[in-house]
Copies of this chain bind each other. A is one copy, B any other.
Amino acid sequence: MAAGLRLDEIVASLGGVLQGDGALVVSRVGTLQSAQPGDIAFLANPKYRSQLQTTQASAVIVPPQFAADTQLPRIVHRNSYAYYARVVALLNPPAARRPGVHRGAVVHSPVPASASIGENVVVGRGVHLGENVTLQPGCVIGDGASIGDDSLLHPNVVVYDRCVIGRRAIIHSGAVIGSDGFGFAKDGDRWIKIPQIGRVVVGDDVEIGANTSIDRGALDDTLVADGVKLDNQIQIGHNCSIGENAAMAGCVGIAGSTRIGRRCTIGGAGMISGHLELGDDVHISGGTLVARSLIRPGQYTGVFPLDEHAEWLHNAAQLRRLSRLVERVAELEKKIKLMEIKS
């Protein structure tokens, strides 16, 4: 844990307005409810406003409209949640990097002195490694690939040849960037492989989760724009294009050649079919399968509502006769209309 920082040191680093004792030292961040003395807590959701009265925290981060709600030493900032994120980073600096190439690594390309290349890493021929790149043990970087400045690859990440990773990437263990897209032509009963000769090109400030895979393009490239955040166990098919600052939760799948707009979010296990377009600011609920393009911004959902199993059985059975039910209702309407006319 960190040794702690004074509130006025935090404000000097991160901005915001200090109210109260700037000499107060905090060493940890907590929620209003869980924080202990010595901690700094934050109010981001107005729903928890009343906890400002009861928190054990020694200081708080609050947005201006709630600054008067507490007598605690406080930092006032418009976006208290983002401020909290930055304070956590400030109080918990990453472990010191160890520049240099471990003797167990096998490196076939030039390495900047600032790079840190761990045990058993393999770097192919013609690879470009930026300044301060960290490749943790077991990473494999294919021939002709490129990793931008300040990027961090956790253990056992694979980047296939010619793929491009931008600056400040964070890629978690088991992620695979640049595997072949799933492309086959039918010839009689058999499948003929279509060689996948495109690349994956990943922009700056992208995070890619554990065991996520991104396929290389068939002829053109698969594109992941700046600022995209991908959680674990995600699959991105060949020739997809993911717009700036889009974010996807775990277990999402995007089939080939689909374009995802800027700032889109896709909830866990959302699945997007191939050759579709999602416009900017489209949000897909978790567990939803998207089988048509969605241009208009908004939240979209398609999930079977959960029920006790016995109830579900009853309703699901009827669902397969829904079309017939609609016909029955239409017949009733016709008959009633007739009776009304008669009477």
Contacts and interface: CB of A to CB of B under 8 A. Distances in A.
Interface stretch (A19-27, A50-58, A127-135, A170-178): A170-178
A250 B245 contact: no
A104 B298 CA distance: 53
Contacts of A273: 267-268, 286
A242 interface: no
Interface stretch (A68-76, A109-117, A300-308): A300-308
Given A187-B79, A286-B255, A174 B174 contact: yes
A192 B86 contact: yes
Contacts of A170: 180, 193
A326 B325 contact: yes
Contacts of A316: 301, 303-305
Interface in A187-237: 187, 189-195, 197, 205, 207, 209-211, 213, 215, 219-220, 227, 229, 231-233, 235, 237
B229 A182 contact: yes
Copies in the complex: 3
Interface of A: 28-31, 34, 79, 81-82, 84-86, 88-89, 92, 94-95, 102, 104, 106, 118-120, 122, 136-138, 140, 142-143, 154-156, 158, 160-161, 170, 172-174, 176, 179-180, 182-187, 189-195, 197, 205, 207, 209-211, 213, 215, 219-220, 227, 229, 231-233, 235, 237, 244-245, 247, 249-251, 253, 255, 262-263, 267-269, 271, 273, 285-292, 298-309, 311-323, 325-326, 328-329, 332-333, 335-336, 339-340, 342-343
